[in-house]
Amino acid sequence: MVARKLIAGMAFASVVGLCSCTSSENDEPQGSGEQLPIGVSGIGFSVDKVCLLAYAESDTIFFDSDDWTVSSVSFGGEMNKKYPKLYPLTTYITDLSGTSPFDENVEWLHLHYADRKLVLRDIEPFCDDEFPKYRYAYLEFQRGEVTDTLVCENESDMPLGGAWHTNPGTVVFPAKGATANVMASHYYWAFIELYAGEVEHCFKAEDGTQDFVDYWTDPDAVFSYTLDWLTIERNKHGDPKEITITVEPNTTGVEREFMIVCGGLAPGSRGVCSGRQLAD
């Protein structure tokens, strides 16, 4: 988080409307009490709204000058859109200037600026118990008496329903043993059950405790578990969607099968990745 340049506070007493990537002009946020015209920038940036559609995605904004400051960065979600008076934005007061490069993290947003280019990147996966579609960041720019707002919209990676799945969905290994990587359909999931032939393991105990990493709060953590001849790993190569599957050499003389059961937060987002290993 920003230490020297930012002071966090709850702000924006005025009603602030939120927008989506397909929003109309009336849905745009208000800055300094006035409605901002769409597509018009008094500061000189190339666009007044960006949409980050996936975790870790970035977008670049170009400037025609550097005589500006970012006076504040504010954050909100779906509840701000539905009940703006009850859920005001959280605002961080800043003094980031276009005359000097900066590289700062503010809540879930990373800001990197140099050579009149500002890169915005989502640094925390988007997850909420109420399953909102979007969250928002508003960057308030100032140049003398002129103010303008840049809107950064971030869409949830979490599917709102539908089964969890992998690509490929089935993997066939040679008898000598091997390792394969499969990609999950989204980021917000955890291992539920694992079957290696007749041996099985449930990752959630009857008392509710879990022996897998809580990816809702730590999506970048690496997890590894071995059941008999089968090893599964998550995020081994730095991608929360990736599952690495390793099987030991099969010396039993018969084919053997495995199944990985996983699930996400959304209702119905449960599925399997299955496979088998050939025999000599």
Q: If you average pLDDT over residues 177-204, what whole number do you get?
A: 88
CA–CA gap between residue 224 and residue 232 (Å, rounded): 6
pLDDT value of residue 20: 40
Confidence label for 4 from pLDDT (cuts 50, 70 and 90)? very low
pLDDT value of residue 6: 42
Structural domain boundaries in the chain: 7-155, 166-277
Per-residue pLDDT of 57-91, as tens digits, reads 889 999 988 999 999 999 988 777 677 777 788 99
For residues 167 and 181, is the Cβ–Cβ distance under 8 A?
no
Residue 56 has pLDDT above 70, yes or no: yes
pLDDT value of residue 12: 34
**What letter represents residue 191's amino acid?**
F
Q: If you average pLDDT over residues 246-269, what whole number do you get?
A: 87
Q: Is the fold of 7-155 the same as that of 166-277? A: yes
Structure tokens at 183: 């990609």
HEC string of 2-36 equals CCCCCEEEECCCCCCCCCCCCCCHHHCCEECCEEC
The larger pLDDT score, comparing residue 217 to residue 102, is at 102
Residue 13 has pLDDT above 50, yes or no: no
- What kind of fold does domain 7-155 have according to CATH? Immunoglobulin-like (2.60.40)
Confidence label for 240 from pLDDT (cuts 50, 70 and 90)? confident
- What kind of fold does domain 166-277 have according to CATH? Immunoglobulin-like (2.60.40)
Per-residue pLDDT of 200-212, as tens digits, reads 998 876 555 555 5
Of the candidates 141, 161, 158, 120, the one whose C-alpha atom is nearest the C-alpha of residue 68 is: 141
Give the HSE-up count for residue 238: Cα atoms under 13 Å, Cβ half-sphere.
1
Question: What H or E segment, with its residue span, contains residue 232?
Answer: strand 230-234
Instruction: Return the minimum-mean-pLDDT range out of 92-96, 116-120, 128-132, 221-225.
Output: 128-132
CA–CA gap between residue 164 and residue 245 (Å, rounded): 17
